[in-house]
Structure 1
Amino acid sequence: MNKSFCLVLAMALPATQLFAQAKPEDTEYYTPVPAVVTPGATNSMPPSDAVVLFDGSNLDQWESANDTTQAAGWNVHDGIMTVSKTAGNIRTKQSFSNYQLHIEYRIPADITGSGQARGNSGVFLASTGSGDSGYELQVLDNYNNKTYVNGQAGSIYKQSPPLVNACKKPGEWQSYDVIWTAPLFNADGSLQSPARVTVLHNGVLVQNNFALLGPTLYIGKPAYTHAHGPSPIKLQAHGDKSEPISYRNIWVRPL
């Protein structure tokens, strides 16, 4: 039987007969087995493998961002922590690369001001130095407050506006759920792959795997000019009419 005849015969056979030897098991595998993680009682509560950064009792997981030899100076009361303008920014003692983050915040019901001077704070997803250096997810009251769209709540500040405005009223607790992929750098310090972030604001998708252009800059265009590794998470004390913004229920799952 020549090769041409065999090829014609194979083409004429039904697919079920031609691949009769294939089995469902051929595309099934059983290892490695995923680790068991016990979810929290609600989606906002920490799962069993989370690092709890704030449970309402103390700031043991935090330090001053301006002077890391000093304790975090924010106020802890009634299960929440409140921004202290005089104490400045705080950051986690532990550094992280890729992670899942949950954090809740509340802007006072009687907040005053407008634009950027209305409940201004920020979650720096990786703090790469002192001051306000790093990659900022904006915290602001935009329930009924206009500002530049890449500076409103849910934005990656000065880079990417939120897909939608999902803000609640001042006085209500709000949440961010973040998937952070840290940037990678080559041995010579050049960028290998940019940071990426997905953010849900109050359960609504506002950033969808956005590739950051670099760390946050208030003036100028962002760029990756300094290589870095795992970094702390930082919370901002903005210093204007932003206080007293409060935070609670903060946890992170390294990925």
Structure 2
Amino acid sequence: MKSLLTLFSLITLAASAQDVTLFTGDKLTGIKEPHGTWQAAQSLALDPANPKAFQITPGTGVFVNSAAGKTKDLFSEVEHGDCELHVEFCVPQGSNSGIYLMGRYEVQVFDSFGHQELKYSDCGGLYQSHLPPPAFTGKPPAVNASKAPGEWQSFDITFRAPRFDAAGKKIENAKFIKVIHNGQVIHENVEVNAPTRSAAFDEEKPLGPLKFQGDHGPVAYRNVVLKKLP
């Protein structure tokens, strides 16, 4: 399935037995408006004159938050709970983004190439909550699997949504069952007891959309596949 997505430059959501197209290579579909200045591209590379920026080749297959590098966050129209997520991303030097499961729980996207003392703010880190302890204080990745700026990278995430009783009271926290960064396991069985910083929603719910942060610097995404789990 992933090879087909790559071949046709599709970004899809695999929901049960049906794929819902989220990005068709030349326009954003399945994404809530407004889209800001996100645009499709054929490819991108670091700008030789400014390694903190992209040179963008027009075309299809990749979506990038414009040459300016700062615009609106993207939200999927479809909402999810338990899921498996595959996503590929690229950042230039020093840039910053994030992928929010259910719009609430962030896996950090950052240029962490060569970093030695890892923090939750490094690439693959689970970001802290804006609430005081005992709310989630963040968790750095177990290893630094980051590639150099301008190289494509990947996350494979298995996520378990929070659980609620019949009265709507939360009885189990959200949990990152496993996060794999460029083929290396960086998190296993990490509970997140509150939405993380810059979450779209403060209140926890059984379902929520994917959020792609677009206001912290240049970033590009491709081959995003969300498989809903029963």
Provide the TM-score with structure 1 as the length reference.
Answer: 0.66
Question: 1:171 and 1:225 mapped to 2: Cα distance?
Answer: 33
Change (3 A) 1:185 1:73: farther
Larger fraction in strand: 2
* Matching residue's letter, 2:63: M
What CA RMSD, in Å, does the superposition of the two structures yield over aligned residues? 2.8
Give the distance between the partners of 1:90 and 1:225, measured in 2 at CA: 17
What is the CA distance between 1:147 and its match in structure 2? Answer: 7.2
Letter in 1 for 2:183: G
User: Structure 2 regions of 5+ residues with no counterpart?
Assistant: 43-60, 129-137
Q: Could you tell me which amino acid in structure 2 is paired with residue 170 of structure 1?
A: P
Paired position in structure 2 for 1:174: 153
Q: Which has more helix, going by share of residues?
A: 1
The Cα shift of 1:207 comes to: 1.0
Match of 2:84 in 1: 100
Answer yes or no: is 1:54 the counterpart of 2:15.
Answer: no
* Alignment partners' CA distance in 2, 1:147 and 1:203: 20
In structure 2, what residue type is equivalent to 1:251?
Answer: V
Judged with a 3 Å threshold, the aligned counterparts in structure 2 of structure 1 residues 179 and 151 are, in CA distance, closer, same or farther, namely: same
Q: Does 1:150 align with 2:120?
A: yes
- Alignment deviations for residues 76-100 of structure 1 (CA, whole Å, 9 cap, x no partner): 1111111245531011011111111
Matched, 1:209 2:189: yes
What is the alpha-carbon distance in structure 2 between the residues aligned to residue 170 and residue 138 of structure 1?
15
Tell me, in whole angstroms, the C-alpha distance in 1 between the residues paired with 2:73 and 2:2. 29
Larger radius of gyration: 1
8 Å Cα contact 1:106-1:174 kept in structure 2: yes
The answer to whether the aligner puts 1:190 opposite 2:166 as a matched pair is no
* Conserved? CA contact 2:27–2:39, under 8 Å: no
Q: CA deviation at 1:138?
A: 0.1
Task: State the distance in 1 between where 2:163 and 2:227 align.
Answer: 19
Q: Structure 1, residues 79-130: CA drift from partner, whole Å, max 9, x if none?
A: 111124553101101111111111100112xx2xxxxxx2100001111xxx
Q: What is residue 9 of structure 1 aligned with on the other side?
A: none
Residue deviations 1:187-245, cap 9 Å, x none? 44432111111210011111112111211037xxx9x9734131100000233xx21x1
Q: Which runs of 5+ in 1 are unaligned?
A: 1-38, 65-69, 112-117, 128-133
8 A Cα contact 1:55 1:248, kept in partner: no
CA distance in 1 between counterparts of 2:145 and 2:190 reads 18
Deviations 1:15-65 (A, max 9, x none): xxxxxxxxxxxxxxxxxxxxxxxx54489888885544335332112124x
Show structure 1 runs of 4+ deviating over 6 A.
42-48
**Contact 1:52/1:250, CA 8 A, preserved across alignment:** no
Deviating more after overlay: 180-189 vs 191-200: 180-189
Cα distance in 2, alignment partners of residues 202 and 43 from structure 1:
19
Look up the SS of the partner of 2:186 in the other structure: strand
TM alignment of 1:50-129, pairs within 5 A: 50-64=19-33, 70-71=34-35, 73-78=37-42, 79-84=61-66, 85=69, 87-108=71-92, 111=93, 118-127=94-103
CA contact 2:110–2:123 (8 Å) conserved in 1? yes
- Matched-pair contact (CA < 8 Å) for 2:108–2:127: yes
Structure 1 residue 164: Cα displacement = 0.7
Task: State how far apart, in whole Å, the 1-side matches of 2:184 and 2:24 are.
Answer: 24
TM-score normalised per structure 2 = 0.73
Give identity over the alignment, percent. Answer: 29
Contact 1:63 1:93 in 2 (8 A): yes
DSSP-derived class of the 1:200 partner: strand
